[in-house]
């Protein structure tokens, strides 16, 4: 069964279940066996809920398009009654929920079988997954000395290691796309508000955070996003309507596009030579596919100001969550409650006034308009996903209390592209098209205009057909 499991994506496994060739219980047992085999090495799967999964199967799964497929929930978001969550933090350990989130109910209704959660950095504010609450770092299946990224690092590691074909993630500054890049997977961030946040959040990080998925195939992400798309009850706003479903879009070849190639950072700094080689290779592939590729970067968009505002907004969001939790406990912060970066975020948030916070939101909205202006001349902006290959374990951990320095001097130079499209709200994706000589995945990042999700997903499907990656897997 392991070979069958590894050779199929989520849709393929669901087809086997529908055809009576395998049962949901057999698939769950296979996923659990794979987890037992590799999770001690990668430390990606936590908060076991096998009994819940077996009970769901026994009760009869919904007859949805992914019926019987084992699945994992990120240990942050996707709130569900039967799946407690640590939120990557000792302070929030074993948080329980009184009701399900809208996105969980939609995933559950598709027939998926969630059986655990996956690791995340504390409060989701890092690009490496090394939270103390899990007893050790989460490691990259391609190289155990390197990080799978963050904040959906556990989800990416679990999918890359073959524990599940697809997993839930979320993206507030690249948190789906960075792990996808590091682990050789497909990661898609939809247009702002395309996926539901409620009822536990009106919006994440002033609208910059959104749910998502880590998958090995484009079609799995397309179907999962179709299943979950649409505002939940009482949502403060909704994404623009799409001309088709994602599944319809991926079967429609894309007409020639105007693509801007940026092989530096948006502010003009050099990037690692292997990432530059990767994006230039992708540009040649896109040209061979009939697209028009020209060098350009959004130089008029004030990316430095955007990242500074992003840093302040996330600090305030972190502080609000911590203070609300402490209020419910009726006590102050204890030394071992949170890690260094979170302590730094709390201290930094205390220096930000209400007027400062509104100014940050204005900066983010201005950046969206600056990016929209750039995209008047281009359909797609092409960059690497990261400015360098996957970082080594420990380099981006949460030990420091210099929160601003951590974000602006460590994380931002490492990941200078992804957060731009959380700020602008545009759809963006990381596609696994390149591997370094050392055997590490190097993701290629593509961003489209606000609301043009289906065009971007269709382009990613074209790239998958032009250079298939599904059977390229780590030898863990």
The active-site residue, picked from 89, 108, 143, 151, is 151
- Strands, E, within 138-209: which ranges? 166-171, 186-189
- The answer to whether 181 touches 188, Cβ cutoff 8 Å, is no
Count the domains in the chain. 1
Cα–Cα distance measured from residue 324 to residue 349, given in angstroms and rounded to the nearest whole number:
14
Residue 292 lies in a domain: no
- Whether the CA torsion 403, 408, 412, 417 is positive or negative: it is positive
The active-site residue, picked from 175, 181, 415, 424, is 175
Residue 350 lies in a domain: no
Residue 403 lies in a domain: no
Residue 431: partners with Cβ closer than 8 Å, 6 or more residues away: 186, 282, 443, 444, 445, 446, 460, 463, 464
DSSP state of 235: -
Instruction: Answer yes or no: 175 catalytic.
Output: yes
Per-residue pLDDT of the chain (476 residues; tens, 9 = 90+): 888 899 999 999 999 999 999 999 999 999 999 999 999 999 999 999 999 999 999 999 999 999 999 999 999 999 999 999 999 999 999 999 999 999 999 999 999 999 999 999 999 999 999 999 999 999 999 999 999 999 999 999 999 999 999 999 999 999 999 999 999 999 999 999 999 999 998 899 999 999 999 999 999 999 999 999 999 999 999 999 999 999 999 999 899 999 999 999 999 999 999 999 999 999 999 999 999 999 999 999 999 999 999 999 999 999 999 999 999 999 999 999 999 999 999 999 999 999 999 999 999 999 999 999 999 999 999 999 999 999 999 999 999 999 999 999 999 999 999 999 999 999 999 999 999 999 999 999 999 999 999 999 999 999 999 999 999 999 99
Residue 388 lies in a domain: no
We report the CATH number of the domain holding residue 223 as 3.90.1300.10
Using DSSP, state whether 392 is helix, strand or coil: strand
- The answer to whether 153 touches 188, Cβ cutoff 8 Å, is no
- The answer to whether 7 touches 33, Cβ cutoff 8 Å, is no
Q: In 3D, which of 452, 46, 38, 11 has the Cα closest to residue 220?
A: 11
Say if residue 353 is exposed, middle or buried (CB neighbours under 10 Å; 0-12, 13-18, 19+): exposed
User: How is residue 407 written in tokens?
Assistant: 């974000």
- Whether the CA torsion 301, 403, 360, 337 is positive or negative: it is positive
Structural domain for 447, as ranges: 2-255+427-466
Residue 175 lies in a domain: yes
Rounded to 5°, angle at Cα 42 from 70 and 208: 70
Strand 258-261 and strand 210-215: pairing? unpaired
Residue 384 lies in a domain: no
Cα–Cα distance measured from residue 231 to residue 221, given in angstroms and rounded to the nearest whole number:
18
Residue 123 lies in a domain: yes
Residue 317 lies in a domain: no
pTM: 0.98
Cα–Cα distance measured from residue 261 to residue 116, given in angstroms and rounded to the nearest whole number:
40
């Amino acid at each position: 069964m392991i070979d069958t499991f590894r050779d199929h994506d989520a849709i393929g496994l669901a087809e086997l279940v529908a055809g009576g060739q395998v049962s949901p219980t057999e698939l769950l047992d296979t996923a659990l066996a794979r987890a037992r085999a590799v999770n001690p090495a990668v430390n990606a799967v936590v908060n076991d809920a096998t009994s819940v999964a077996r009970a769901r199967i026994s009760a009869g799964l919904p007859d949805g398009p992914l019926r019987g497929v084992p699945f994992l929930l990120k240990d942050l978001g996707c709130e569900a009654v039967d799946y407690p969550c640590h939120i990557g933090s000792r302070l929030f350990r074993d948080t329980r929920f009184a009701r399900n989130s809208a996105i969980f109910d939609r995933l559950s209704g598709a027939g998926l079988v969630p059986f655990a959660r996956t690791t995340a950095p504390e409060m989701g504010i890092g690009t490496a997954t090394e939270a103390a609450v899990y007893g050790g770092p989460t490691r990259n299946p391609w190289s155990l000395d390197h990080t799978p990224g963050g904040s959906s690092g556990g989800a990416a590691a679990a999918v890359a290691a073959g524990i599940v074909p697809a997993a839930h993630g979320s993206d507030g500054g690249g948190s789906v796309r960075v792990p996808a890049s590091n682990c050789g997977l497909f990661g898609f961030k939809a247009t702002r508000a395309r996926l539901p946040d409620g009822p536990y959040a009106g919006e994440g990080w002033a609208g910059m955070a959104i749910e998502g998925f880590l998958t090995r195939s484009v079609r799995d992400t397309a179907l999962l996003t179709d299943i979950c798309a649409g505002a939940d009850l009482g949502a403060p706003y909704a994404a623009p309507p799409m001309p088709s479903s994602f599944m319809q879009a991926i079967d429609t070849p894309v007409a020639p596009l105007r693509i801007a190639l940026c092989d530096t950072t948006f502010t003009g700094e050099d990037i690692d030579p292997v990432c530059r080689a990767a994006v230039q290779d992708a540009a040649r592939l896109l040209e061979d596919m009939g697209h028009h590729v020209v060098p350009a970067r959004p130089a008029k968009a004030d990316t430095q100001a955007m990242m500074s505002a992003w840093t302040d907004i996330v600090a305030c969001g972190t502080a609000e969550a911590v203070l609300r939790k402490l209020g419910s406990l009726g006590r102050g912060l204890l030394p071992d409650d949170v890690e260094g970066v979170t302590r730094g975020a709390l201290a930094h948030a205390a220096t930000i006034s209400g007027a400062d916070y509104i100014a940050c939101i204005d900066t983010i909205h201005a950046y969206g308009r600056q990016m929209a202006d750039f995209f008047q001349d281009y359909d797609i902006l092409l960059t690497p996903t990261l400015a360098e290959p996957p970082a080594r374990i420990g380099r981006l951990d949460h030990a420091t209390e210099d929160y601003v320095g951590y974000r602006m001097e460590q994380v931002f130079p490492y990941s200078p592209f992804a957060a731009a499209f959380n700020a602008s709200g545009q759809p963006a994706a990381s596609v696994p098209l390149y591997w370094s000589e050392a055997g590490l995945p190097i993701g290629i990042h593509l961003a489209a205009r606000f609301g043009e999700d289906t065009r971007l997903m269709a382009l990613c499907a074209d790239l998958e057909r032009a250079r298939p990656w599904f059977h390229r897997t780590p030898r863990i």
